[in-house]
Amino acid sequence: MTTVVPTSEEDPALSVFRFVSDLSWSDAGPDVAEPQVSRLCLEAEEFIATGKWLELANLIVPSAEVIFSKVSDKDVESIFTIICNLVTKTENPDEAMEIVKVIIPEKPIQPQIEKPAVRLKIWINLYNLLETPASRFYVYNKALELSVVGKVTEYIIPSFKKIDSFLKDWKIGIPEQRELFLTISNILKENKSNAKDYFKFLTNYLATFNGEDANVLEKAKEGAVRAIVEFVKALDIFQCDLLDMPAVGQLEKDAEYSSLYKLLKIFLTQRLDAYLEYYSANSALLKSYGLVHEECVAKMRLLSLVDLSSDGSAQIPYELIKDTLQINADEVELWVVKAITAKLIVCKIDQMNQVVIVSHHTDRVFSQHQWQTLRTKLVTWRGNIANVISTIEANKITEDGSQAAQGLVVR
């Protein structure tokens, strides 16, 4: 295995260039190769001496492509670590960006690209060397493209957990965010990753269409359909704000997708009986979207139980649960336990009185009404806490006064 070890007498970039030039010209024979390599190295030395880092990058990178097929993965990483370090040599952000684009060209990545996993690692290391948001976003975007084309998405998926902090750093516009969220959601879908993560980025994508006109919203239809199907299908997602999104709302009167929108509305606002009625007229539609009736029934039973909990009464009779969920009497407690396990309700089961006492439930939708309710509760709690503090302070003043009076009597 060949390893490049830069010496103290020579700039690391020049050592790397000499090495990759020797490899590039190795097939031409020594008589041709040696003068060519010497000439190129002299040119590289001049660029290093004069601080022309972009020109040096343009000289090194094309030659370095040959190493992907001729040296080990570890050596490839070592060589490109030194090449990528060129972005730190310049103090000009624009020049650093141009160097980045030499290392990672703007042109579309081809499917036959060599060693995509190794390149992805190199590009992520390059990302960490960069200081400007624009250059970081460019590298990350190309890394996403590489992961898809090279079929190595498993290496980029862990970074999705940091997207929120990345967005704060990049400060990119809505169109860029839209494309980013769509790309990530597509990757997660193809990778069959966590359904919640896929649904999260898909809804983030749809949210970027808020405030757009009808012509732009039209582009979101496919994503909106996917989001509805995913919400209905996912057995661990019970809350969303899809109904508040214009990208989804446009489907309500759409000739092709209005029935699908109605299904979403049933899952978010109605109970099992409404779903069963819908299914009797639209069974073929559900099947066409890959939705399983039995799974839909199970989910609607849990959502119907949540709906009973939100009716305002803290006590739900077993009989009402049985009728609403359309189950046998001996299954009531089983479904209550399922709702507890799914963290949809917090409750106590009173077997003696045949009631379920609910202390908390999860809202299926969290729209303006829910925010207002939460705000009212917070204001009330704040007022109660203020009253408690005032009472404590008043009692403390009274107690201090009594102790002072007792001290006067003693003297």
Mind spelling out the 3-state secondary structure of 194-215?
CHHHHHHHHHHHHHCCCCCCHH
- Residue 391: the pLDDT is 76
**Position with higher pLDDT, 278 vs 378:** 278
Is residue 7 predicted with pLDDT exceeding 90?
A: no
What are the Cα distances from residue 238, in Å, to 229, 233, 234, 313?
A: 13, 10, 8, 21
Q: Which CATH number fits domain 294-366: 3.50.50.60, 1.10.10.10, 1.10.3720.10, 3.30.110.30?
A: 1.10.10.10
pLDDT digits (tens, 9 = 90+) for 101-120: 999 999 999 999 999 999 99
What whole-number percentage of the chain has pLDDT above 70? 87
C-alpha closest to that of 87 among 75, 106, 74, 103: 103
Mean pLDDT of 21-27: 74
Edge-first strand order for the sheet with 355-361 is 315-317, 355-361, 345-350
CATH 1.10.10.10 domain extents, the chain: 294-366
pLDDT at 158 over 70: yes
- Contact at 8 Å (CB) between 358 and 347? yes
Residue 171, helix vs strand vs coil: coil
What is the tens place of the pLDDT at every residue in 189-236?
998 878 899 999 999 999 999 999 999 999 999 999 999 999 999 999
Q: Quick: pLDDT tens for 310-366.
A: 876 689 999 999 999 999 999 999 999 999 999 999 999 999 999 999 999 999 886
The DSSP call for residue 349 is E
